[in-house]
Amino acid sequence: MLYRDDDIRKDTDINIVEALHQLFLKYNRVHTLGIVLEDIYQTPIWYWMQETYKKTPKNIAFGLHAFVHIDYSLLIYDEVLSDLKKCLDYWNKYRGDLPEFKHFYPPYSKQSNALYKACEEVGLTCLNHGGIYPMYVFHWGELSLKENVERVEQTLIENIKIGN
Ligand SMILES: [Zn+2]
């Protein structure tokens, strides 16, 4: 089971992401971040990712979600390709010790042939709902820290119970 914590971005509340991360440590699962890159460098969440990867590298993973949160399926191939290249340039310039991106998690779960092709061109695998990987995607939305933690913990417990 891939647990995808989407929309990690420059203004992400690190108290919530840290509380959720503690659950992934408690149940020894991988906390996968879907990252929106714009202006994320040297924000609190950027420092949090650096420190957390250093301390718990086996329990955290990093995937590309977007540069800005747009619907990539509306773009033509050349537009997708140049956006993805911009994303990879940005990440590789600022990621420090964090690993390179391997996966792209499309915003709004919207995909297109152009998107798949462009991902392949830059060496990313486009992963989505309904694909070959069972995936639980959570967005924090308007929920409180407590509600988010309860919801994710419940999901972890249920999945572990059925052997995921
Ligand atoms: Zn999103």
Each residue of 135-159: pLDDT tens digit? 788 777 678 889 989 999 999 999 9
How many domains are contained in the chain? 1
159 C-alpha to ligand 1 centroid (Å): 23
32 C-alpha to ligand 1 centroid (Å): 13
Taking residues 95-106, report their average pLDDT. Answer: 96
127 C-alpha to ligand 1 centroid (Å): 13
27 C-alpha to ligand 1 centroid (Å): 25
Give the chain's mean pLDDT.
93
Q: Which helix (DSSP H) or strand (DSSP E) does residue 94 occupy? A: helix 77-94
65 C-alpha to ligand 1 centroid (Å): 7
107 C-alpha to ligand 1 centroid (Å): 5
The pTM for the full model equals 0.93
pLDDT band, very low/low/confident/very high, at 132 (cuts 50, 70, 90): low
User: How far, in Å, CA of 146 to CA of 125, rounded?
Assistant: 33
**CA angle centred on 124, ends 118 and 130, rounded to 5°:** 90
- Residue 130 reports pLDDT greater than 80: no
pLDDT tens string 56-83: 999 999 999 999 999 999 999 999 999 9
156 C-alpha to ligand 1 centroid (Å): 21
Q: Which has the closest alpha carbon to 17: 26, 2, 27, 5? A: 5
The domain in which residue 57 lies consists of 2-161
Could you tell me if 160 and 137 are in contact, meaning their C-beta atoms sit under 8 angstroms apart?
no
* Per-residue model confidence (pLDDT) at position 131: 62
Q: Which has the closest alpha carbon to 106: 140, 64, 137, 136? A: 64
User: How many other CB atoms are there within 10 angstroms of residue 96's CB atom?
Assistant: 12
97 C-alpha to ligand 1 centroid (Å): 24
Q: Collapse the DSSP code of 34 into the 3-class scheme (helix H, G, I; strand E, B; otherwise coil) and give the result.
A: strand
Read off the CATH number of the domain in which 48 is found.
3.20.20.370
